[in-house]
Structure 1
Amino acid sequence: MKLRLLTLAAMFAALSAIGAFVKIPVGIGSAALDTVPALVSAAFLPPAYAGAASLIGHLSSSLYAGFPFGPLHIIIAAEMFLILFVYTRLHQARRYVLKWVFFIFANSVLATLPFYWIISPAFFASALPGITIATILNAGIAMTVSPVIVRVMERVKTHA
């Protein structure tokens, strides 16, 4: 069972790394679709594994972009881990609407909030709209794709 979880987590982390190459220009810099696979992974993985997939996805996206915020990406990766951890717990508790509301609010507002003090209030104000748009886009794609992937995985499980 543990090997299956590690394999799935590695697969979703790899898909997150691939999603890092799909860039969306939003205000300051760009956002990527690295979070979509991590959001989908909540249906298959425990919270810590889904969080790890998200953490790896963010770090690979940052690496591809050249780490524009330097060591601050460690903070962002930790935030992503925590957000996906809670998101997955909400999914497992069958709080389907709340998990999306939480993800969009936490990934856009709460994750950006520390940079109000770390960088500047102006940075926070200019980054928030773009990050919110990217978050909604990631959530929308994951919301659309997740039910299909879950159904396919159920079929594979019954035929295997």
Structure 2
Amino acid sequence: MKNRKLSWLAMFIALSAAGAFIKIPAVIGSVALDSLPALMAAGLLGGPAGAAVGGIGHLLSAIIAGMPLGPFHFLVGGEMVLLVYVYGLLYRNGKPWSAAALFILGNSFAAPLPFIMLMGKSFYLAIVPSLFIGSILNTVLAYVVLPKVARVLGHLLPFSRQA
């Protein structure tokens, strides 16, 4: 990996950690803006880079929150890796609406499905509204900011079209 790309990746991970401190109150715990930098990285640097930021960013956010789900955060981190990776693939293939819809629906409704078996249906029903609001907020911000950042930083990101 080029040093320049690695530096951008580190910056997005740091932004994800900073976003973890911006909390949105939720029924269970809180939802944070830690996904926004991951979606930005996926759009600018490609799916694999965005996936790395998403997975690491989620774990940093969980640590900051005190790991309320314990080791289940590794499962959620894996789901975030997959969702951000696919978001990056769709976004960079000219399908930003599909990427946004997939991320919102996947993160809000599909990702918490394993918790029905692990923690019960009531946990799922309690967490989905908060995840939905957080997913919409993270995705809409990325959808609005990403094209502007790409336009401004395009000359600084010669590798941004490489997936």
CA RMSD in angstroms comes to 1.5
Structure 1 gaps of 5+ residues are none
In 2, the alpha carbon distance for the partners of 1:110 and 1:157 equals 33
Contact 2:39–2:84 (Cα < 8 Å) also in 1? yes
Q: C-alpha separation between the residues in 1 aligned to 2:139 and 2:74? A: 22
User: Identity percentage over the alignment?
Assistant: 41
Q: Deviations over 1:10-35 (max 9, x none)?
A: 11111101100000001111000000
Return the TM-score normalized by structure 2: 0.92
The answer as to whether partners of 1:76 and 1:111 remain within 8 angstroms in 2 is: yes
Alignment of 1:1-160 (within 5 A): 2-154=2-154, 156=156
Partners of 1:91 and 1:9 in 2: CA distance: 18
1:112 aligned counterpart, secondary structure: coil
* TM value normalised by structure 1: 0.93
Hey, which bits of structure 1, 4+ residues long, moved more than 2 A?
154-158
**Aligned residues of 1:9 and 1:49 also touching (Cα < 8 A):** yes
Q: d(CA) in 2 for partners of 1:85 and 1:51?
A: 5
- Unaligned stretches of 5+ residues in structure 2: 159-163
Residue by residue, what CA displacement relative to the aligned partner does 1:76-124 show, whole Å, maximum 9, x if unpaired? 0010001001110111211111101101011111111111111101100
